[in-house]
């Protein structure tokens, strides 16, 4: 879910006095200058590279940053596909708050196209994430219905709670090659300063993204969505624990330390249906139960 955040842009306009000179013939023949705003309003293309922080990708459904940069410069996002999933949308602008239908279509379309780009499917909640951006309200009124699909990668060593995006390579094929060489390269793993405490990795304020290919402390073993209708009542902790056992931890040896997360009643009422389970990859003490 994208969180809404206001982004203020302040323009200082200077008052100029005196005469304005008419351009020379040479100046008149030059191409008109295009502002950053006009550049950002152009239709994006596959292969575009962009720069912004993680909060921007979480918050924006229409791009509000600068135009694409040269891929040889520092950039944190790459447009791997342009989806046409909105081409038959005739109703009002769906990106103000992103209604449920539009959100689901956009997510599923970009993730399907990501699998095609990477030449394999990533598991749920990977370190490589996809974000989508649609036309601005003005572009939508003018009939534009494209959906830009971008990928970003969480930087190894950055905090789970103040995530930093990694700078991407100039040639995006390096991402495909990295995944081909190590199929867990973009899986989600975590290191903490505390090691095993009996609790999961998300309780630690020191939790950082770790390289799954190089002896991580915690590994995300499974990500599941609890089945049922959207309006279904909270099933209770016992039912969710059984779901964890049957679906998320079913193939984990009983003596391997692990931890699971599932929604409580308040989270359920807010729409959270996610269930995750983690395995502790380092050697743990004999007592593997939570301390209380």
**Long-range contacts from 282-285, C-beta under 8 angstroms, 24+ separation:** 282/195, 282/196, 282/215, 282/217, 284/196, 284/257, 285/196
**Element at 191 (helix H, strand E):** strand 189-191
Q: What is the pLDDT of residues 179-207, one digit of tens each?
A: 999 999 999 999 999 999 989 999 999 99
Q: Which of 48, 37, 56 is nearest to 79 (CA)?
A: 48
Q: Please, what is the average pLDDT of the chain?
A: 84
Read off the pLDDT of each residue in 3-19 and give the average, rounded to a whole number. Answer: 20
In this predicted structure, the answer to whether residue 13 has a pLDDT above a threshold of 50 is no
Count the helix, strand and coil residues of the chain and give each as a percent rounded to the nearest 5: 25, 20, 60
pLDDT per position as a tens digit, 104-115:
899 899 999 999
Say if residue 277's pLDDT is above 80: yes
Reported confidence tier of residue 2, pLDDT bands at 50, 70, 90: very low
Rounded average pLDDT over 208-229: 93
Higher-pLDDT residue of 59 and 78 is: 78
Please give the full DSSP string across 196-260, using - where no structure is assigned: --SS-GGG-TT-EEE-TTS--SEEEEEEEE--S-TTPPP--HHHHHHHIIIIISTTS-TTS-EEE
pLDDT, one tens digit per residue, over 221-263 is: 999 999 988 889 999 999 999 999 999 999 998 888 999 999 9
Q: What pLDDT is attached to residue 92?
A: 83
Structure confidence at residue 98 as a pLDDT band (50, 70, 90): low
Average pLDDT over residues 111-126: 93
Q: What does the pLDDT read at residue 195? A: 92
Select the more confidently predicted residue: 96 or 227. Answer: 227
pLDDT higher than threshold 80 for residue 216: yes
pTM of the model: 0.80
Label residue 102 by pLDDT band (50, 70, 90): confident
What is the predicted pLDDT for the residue at 287?
Answer: 60
The domain locations on the chain are 42-182, 188-292
Residue 154: partners with Cβ closer than 8 Å, 6 or more residues away: 127, 128, 129, 163, 164, 165, 166, 209
Would you say residue 100 has pLDDT above 80?
no
What pLDDT, on a 0 to 100 scale, did the predictor assign at position 97? 66
Residue 35's alpha-carbon distances to 31, 41, 102, 186, in angstroms, are 12, 10, 30, 37
């Amino acid at each position: 879910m994208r969180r809404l955040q206001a982004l203020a842009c302040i323009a200082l306009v200077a008052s100029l006095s005196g005469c304005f000179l008419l351009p020379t013939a040479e100046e008149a023949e030059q191409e008109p200058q295009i502002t950053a705003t006009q550049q950002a309003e152009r239709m994006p293309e596959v292969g575009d590279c962009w720069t912004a922080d993680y909060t921007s990708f979480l918050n924006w459904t229409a791009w509000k940053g600068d135009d694409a940069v040269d891929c040889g410069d520092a950039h944190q996002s790459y447009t791997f596909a342009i989806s046409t999933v909105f081409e038959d949308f005739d109703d009002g602008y769906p990106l103000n708050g992103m209604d449920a239908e539009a959100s689901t279509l956009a997510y599923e379309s970009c993730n399907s196209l990501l699998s095609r780009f990477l030449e394999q499917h990533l598991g749920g909640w990977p370190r490589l994430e996809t974000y989508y951006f649609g036309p601005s309200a003005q572009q939508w009124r003018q009939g534009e219905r494209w959906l830009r699909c971008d990928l970003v990668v969480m930087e190894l060593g950055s905090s789970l709670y103040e995530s930093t995006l990694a700078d991407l390579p100039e040639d995006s094929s390096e991402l495909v090659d990295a995944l081909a060489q190590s199929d867990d390269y973009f899986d989600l793993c975590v290191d903490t300063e505390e090691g095993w405490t009996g609790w999961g990795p998300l309780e630690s304020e020191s939790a950082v993204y770790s390289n799954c290919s190089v002896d991580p402390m915690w590994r995300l073993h499974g990500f599941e969505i609890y089945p049922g209708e959207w309006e279904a009542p909270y099933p209770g902790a016992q039912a969710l624990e059984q779901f964890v056992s049957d679906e998320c931890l079913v193939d984990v040896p009983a003596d391997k330390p692990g931890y699971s997360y599932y929604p409580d009643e308040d989270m359920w009422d807010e729409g959270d249906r996610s269930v995750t389970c983690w395995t502790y990859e380092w050697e743990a003490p004999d007592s593997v139960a939570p301390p209380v």
